[in-house]
Amino acid sequence: MTIQTASVQTAYSTKPLEGAVGDFQAAFQGHAPRLLLLFASSNYDAGALAPRIQDAFPNTCAAGCSTAGEIAAGKMLTGSVTAMAFDSDIVSDVAVVTVERLSAGIDVSGALERLEERLHVPRAQWNISKYVGLVLIDGLSGAEEKLLEKLGDATDVFFVGGSAGDDLKFQATHVFAEGRALTDAAVLVLLRLERGFEIIKTQSFRSTGKPLVATSVDEAHRTVREFNHKPALQAYAEALGVTPAEAPEQFFKHPLGLMVDGEPFVRSPQKAAGDAMVFYCNIKEGTELEVLEGTDIVADTRHAIAARSSKEVRGLVDFHCILRTLQLRQEKRCDQYGEIFRGIPMAGFSTYGEAYLGHLNQTSTILLFH
């Protein structure tokens, strides 16, 4: 299926590799994409898919990743591969680079220098109203915080994106860049957008007003040992009025939030480890968080989209947390969520974490193209 405007085309396929590539060639026939974003189920062999797509579109910058579910054309999908193609009318210039061997230590300086060389524009001249970055990260690397901190220290450009998934197998996640499929790596895509863009961060939680201060932390393992100078699981349970044994059942519905101007930046508990709590993202010692309670994903997302500027939206990319997807599946509301974007060229995927001003959980980070 394909949805398109004059400058953006989105297509998806559930066919095996060669059939999917053929579907994309037919969907984008007559166009010369400047950029192709690719989001693929782990059912596809990443090592075969990435070079085959690049061969099919040899003059296009191609980037993407494996997923925990795909989003395209107003549908939430599984077992598919989704592609989004941008002509030069939207993306006036683009460069794709990789940051590899994340586990050996993260240094983004070389990647940023390559972006400068490929765009022929020094970093100091990247106007943040026209330049925006996409970041796709190996979702099992545990390196998201460090990578995003390094990018934030090195440039004022906003990077938005997500962590690659593998359909909840938690075995291997891949990022794609110009014909290669990589693990232990991240892909950076820098876009020049003459018509401008917007970034939306939306999460369906509000504060309960119950604070938890991380007073003892194993930051390397994303583990909080103590909140409020008590065993972490005990303090969390007391905040919710349940027993420590019952507390893990509340993790999904009651994550924690770093509150900034009344808005939560979500940190989701993954599991209990004795009296400690392991999270899906890092929490620094001394950080004050608040216990959150859920609101309505569909209504909140619809409101966030409606509250954007009045400029025409010619396409969007949705980096959507797998935990939100699982909730929508449980509530049987995937069709309602997809309907929010009906008629808009869009693609996205269910992530193992979201990126915008840091590493987030249970959030959607959405890039809108004008």
Per-position DSSP letters for 256-303, written without gaps between them: EEEEETTEEEEE-EEEEETTEEEESS---TT-EEEEEEE--HHHHHHH
Strand partners, 350: 320
271 and 313 housed in the same domain = no
| Contact (Cβ atoms closer than 8 angstroms) between residue 316 and residue 278 | no
| Contact (Cβ atoms closer than 8 angstroms) between residue 17 and residue 48 | yes
| Contact (Cβ atoms closer than 8 angstroms) between residue 37 and residue 83 | yes
273 and 288 housed in the same domain = yes
118 and 72 housed in the same domain = yes
Say whether pLDDT at 41 is over 90.
yes
DSSP 227: E
Total domains, the chain: 2
143 and 99 housed in the same domain = yes
Say whether pLDDT at 267 is over 90.
yes
Strand partners, 272: 277
What per-residue confidence (pLDDT) applies to 81?
A: 98
29 and 159 housed in the same domain = yes
Residue 368 φ then ψ, to 5°: -100, 135
46-56 vs 17-27: helix axis angle to the nearest 10? 30
Say whether pLDDT at 172 is over 80.
yes
User: How do beta strands 197-202 and 263-267 pair?
Assistant: unpaired
pLDDT average, residue stretch 235-252: 96
pLDDT average, residue stretch 272-293: 96
242 and 343 housed in the same domain = no
308 and 237 housed in the same domain = no
Cα 273 from Cα 290, distance rounded (Å): 21
Task: Please count the residues of the chain.
Answer: 370
State what percent of residues in the chain have pLDDT above 90: 91
Cα 196 from Cα 136, distance rounded (Å): 21
Using 50, 70 and 90 to split pLDDT, how confident is the model at 309?
low
From 294, 325, 358, the end of a domain falls on: 294
Cα 45 from Cα 294, distance rounded (Å): 37
Question: Strand 35-41's sheet: what is its strand order?
Answer: 2-4, 8-13, 81-86, 35-41, 61-67, 175-177, 180-182
pTM, 2 dp: 0.94
Least confident of 153-157, 172-176, 311-315: 311-315
- Could you tell me which residue, 3 or 75, shows the higher pLDDT? 75
49 and 138 housed in the same domain = yes
133 and 19 housed in the same domain = yes
Residue 128 Cα distances to 158, 187, 208, angstroms: 7, 20, 35
Mean pLDDT of the chain: 95
222 and 108 housed in the same domain = no
Q: What is the per-residue pLDDT across 341-363, written as a single tens digit (0 to 9) for each?
A: 888 899 999 999 999 999 999 99
**Amino acid identity for residue 156 in this structure:** D
78 and 210 housed in the same domain = no
Would you state the structure tokens that stand for residue 302, as one six-digit string?
A: 């619809």
Least confident of 48-57, 72-81, 231-240: 72-81
From 294, 313, 332, the end of a domain falls on: 294
User: How do beta strands 346-351 and 315-321 pair?
Assistant: parallel
Domain with 7 in it: 2-202+297-369
305 and 249 housed in the same domain = no
Give me the long-range contacts of 148-154 (CB less than 8 A, separation at least 24): 148/355, 148/358, 148/359, 149/358, 150/106, 150/107, 150/108, 151/108, 151/188, 152/357, 152/358, 154/108, 154/109, 154/112, 154/123
